[in-house]
């Protein structure tokens, strides 16, 4: 009787050791794989959802806005295109990132980031046709988002140019305009009465 109890105890100890070793190896392999995981966007060109694009297509200002967000948290950002930065905000890389203009440019970009970033993942597939959904941006501005019949997103009446780019957990949509509130829009408009 005593011999069978010793065998059960010995078998029980061996199986516990085996399970412990298997769990340890699994945890260690998960840790190694997660540390070796590469970011979605590198400094050069990158493949996103099978689509290749270059940093120059996003533009320096959009890249600066994206770099202000942490990659490990889920955000969706509606960044203006290069033409929209020039057309609506009069920001050009050659002038806006030189000398004293750098601080003003960062201030403008951080304000635009607050108006155009949502603290959640929102790909174009998640927006239903014919319905309008709304989310609050980081600054509290309500973003009204809908999808047109051609699949483009409309955010506060600004149409998208490119959709569903990704950097880490950040979803990026390139817009053909700048999303901002009325007060900020007035502050960046040229003052035509300065000469009078």
The answer to whether position 113 is within a domain reads yes
Maximum Cα–Cα distance across the chain: 109
Residue 17 in this model has a pLDDT that exceeds 60: yes
Domains identified in the chain, total number:
1
Distance CA 94, CA 61 (A): 12
Q: Binning pLDDT at 50, 70 and 90, where does residue 147 land? A: very high
Residue 36 within a domain: no
Q: What span, in angstroms and rounded, lies between the C-alpha atoms of 80 and 38?
A: 27
Q: Is residue 159 part of a domain?
A: yes
- The answer to whether 172 and 55 have CB atoms below 8 angstroms apart is no
* 5 assigned to some structural domain: no
- Cα separation, 38 vs 89, in Å, equals 34
* CA 126 to chain centroid: 15
CA 134 to chain centre: 18
Closest among 28, 58, 12 to 173, alpha carbons compared: 58
- Is 166 a domain residue? yes
Asked if residue 50 belongs to a domain, the reply is no
Looking at residue 164, which CATH number applies to its domain?
Answer: 2.30.180.10
Residue 55 is predicted with a pLDDT of 64
For residue 132, what are the domain limits? 56-186
Percentage of residues of the chain with pLDDT beyond 70? 73
Contacts of 132 by beta carbon, 8 Å cutoff, 6+ apart: 144, 145, 146
Q: What's the pLDDT tens digit per position in 75-124? A: 999 999 989 888 888 776 666 565 777 778 888 899 999 999 999 999 99
- Domain assignment present for residue 17? The answer is no
Alpha carbon distance 28, 164 (integer Å): 33
Residue 121 sits at the vertex; the CA angle it makes with 90 and 51, to the nearest 5 degrees, is: 70
Checking DSSP bridges between strand 45-48 and strand 51-54, what pairing results, if any?
A: antiparallel
Look up the pTM and report it: 0.68
> Rounded CA gap, 97 and 95, in Å?
6
Is the pLDDT score of 4 beyond 90? no
Tokens of 123: 């790909």
Rounded CA separation 88/8 (Å): 78
**Least confidently predicted of 6-10, 31-35, 188-192:** 6-10
Identify whether the C-beta of residue 117 lies closer than 8 Å to the C-beta of residue 77: yes
């Amino acid at each position: 009787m005593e011999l069978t109890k010793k065998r059960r105890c010995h078998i029980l100890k061996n199986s516990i050791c085996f399970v412990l070793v298997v769990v340890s190896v699994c945890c260690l392999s998960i840790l190694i794989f997660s540390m070796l995981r590469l970011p979605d966007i590198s400094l050069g060109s990158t493949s996103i959802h099978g689509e290749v694009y270059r940093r120059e297509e996003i533009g320096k200002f959009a890249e600066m806005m994206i770099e202000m967000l942490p990659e490990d948290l889920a955000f969706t950002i509606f960044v203006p295109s290069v033409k929209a930065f020039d057309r609506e905000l009069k920001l050009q890389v050659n002038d806006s990132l030189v000398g004293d203009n750098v601080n003003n440019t960062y201030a403008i970009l951080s304000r635009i980031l607050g108006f155009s970033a949502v603290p959640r993942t929102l790909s174009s597939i998640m927006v239903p046709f014919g319905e309008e959904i709304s989310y609050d941006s980081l600054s509290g501005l309500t973003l009204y988002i809908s999808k047109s019949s051609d699949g483009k997103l409309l955010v506060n009446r600004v149409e998208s140019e490119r959709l569903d780019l990704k950097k880490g957990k950040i979803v990026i949509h390139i817009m053909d305009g700048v999303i901002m509130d009325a007060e900020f829009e007035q502050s960046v408009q040229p003052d035509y009465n300065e000469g009078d």
